[in-house]
Amino acid sequence: MEALKETHFSFPNQTGFYRGKVRDVYYFGDKMLMVASDRISAFDVVLPRAIPCKGQILNQIAFKNLEATKDIVPNWSLAQPDPMATYGLQCEPYAVEMVVRSYLVGHAWRTYNSGLRELCGVKLPNGLKENDKLSISIITPTTKAKEGHDMDISREEIISQGIVSKEEYEQLEDYTLKLFARGTELAAKQGLILVDTKYEFGKLNGQIFLIDEIHTPDSSRYFNSDGYEERQQKGEKQKQLSKEFVREWLMANDFQGKEGQVVPEMTDEVVKGITKRYIELYEKVTGSNFVKYDADGLTERIAKNVSNLFANLH
């Protein structure tokens, strides 16, 4: 199957271009086109081989969830001209990511397990186990790093350092908790628990917008709700739906993005296996069968669909 590693479009009235870890972004004044490539990253490293279907899967999940939450907060998305592309508003991003957690897992668990009882200014009680449900959903923001790792930061530091004003930060908190509640409802309908996720916000003409992707397996962590309590009582590992399986494969092959480490060989079998897992994630999260679009001539198809959108806009 063909995978889309990168694009080199030149659209009429294009004002700029940016290549991120996994997305190619084309700018048109106060609008933008985000192309979800099949590149995959882990430990802040773009892996050498692209994963067929990955871009389509993440773009379609994100678009579906943006549509399902636009009554809570306006978002950047205006149209999905192609399964791998979304067109929308170019907002000025806030310099923080709003991470929200309902369970003690991942980074939160590692911090807790090290003996600390505070994460991003949020105090945690003693006696918790890995994957335990927290008494309330907590927001543990991070800085948005242009390069390298995002860093934990507290609500108080964000406001005192003037990164976001108190009034606007309180609005971001409100949106974050309401979005997480909606995501939790949508997940429950699919037999899933939304464990943790992140939201990014931006501003345009004085208004706050939700930007980027939401509730995808790359930006969120899910558990299977069936059997969660029993597994927790027995101290068994929870069944997790996220990109974690890619990180686990890398760690099992001695790679965590550290200096001097080499990315393990991504054979055809490994790539096919990752595609298969992403399709399973799509079907679990959306409750819909995944429809593979014809992979032949991916760039030509995207260019044609985007051109058709622009023709209809004018």
pLDDT for 292 equals: 85
pLDDT for 239 equals: 82
pLDDT for 77 equals: 97
Q: Which domains does the chain have, with CATH numbers?
A: 93-241 (3.30.470.20)
pLDDT for 106 equals: 87
For the chain, strand residue ranges (E) read 16-19, 23-28, 31-36, 41-42, 45-46, 77-82, 85-89, 92-93, 96-103, 118-119, 122-123, 133-139, 142-143, 192-204, 207-211, 220-224, 240-241
If the chain, 314 residues long, is cut into consecutive pieces of 10 residues, what is the mean pLDDT of each piece? 92 95 95 96 91 95 96 98 97 96 94 95 96 96 75 95 96 98 97 96 97 93 94 91 86 90 92 92 94 84 95 84
pLDDT for 149 equals: 64
pLDDT for 124 equals: 96
Measured CA distances, 305 to 23, 71, 82, 166 (Å): 18, 28, 6, 42
Q: What is the pTM of this model?
A: 0.91
pLDDT for 147 equals: 59
